[in-house]
Amino acid sequence: MTPEEEAEEELLVEQVASAHRVPTPAFGDLAYHPAWHDLRPAARERAFERGLALRVAEAALDPDGLSTTARAVLARIRR
């Protein structure tokens, strides 16, 4: 991989690891980040691990101990 390709892949890993998802009409508000499909298997594993670490950090900072994912799931259940 060239340095430019590595930088692009790291950007995609960061996007996939974030909690942000754009709602899609076909699946309600549940969806993979589109960049997931552009990642090689090793980069998908990095994104997954980074996402886990981010959710732990979010929960540690939240007064109720919830990650953004947990809050989104609870909001969906309460609808």
| Cα distance between residue 41 and residue 16, in whole Å | 13
**Number of domains comprising the chain:** 1
| Cα distance between residue 66 and residue 57, in whole Å | 10
- Give Cα separations from 36 to 18, 22, 33 (angstroms): 11, 13, 6
pLDDT at 72: 82
pLDDT at 29: 61
For the stretch 42-55, pLDDT in tens is 999 999 999 999 99
pLDDT at 73: 83
pTM to 2 decimal places: 0.76
40 is in which domain, residue-wise? 3-78
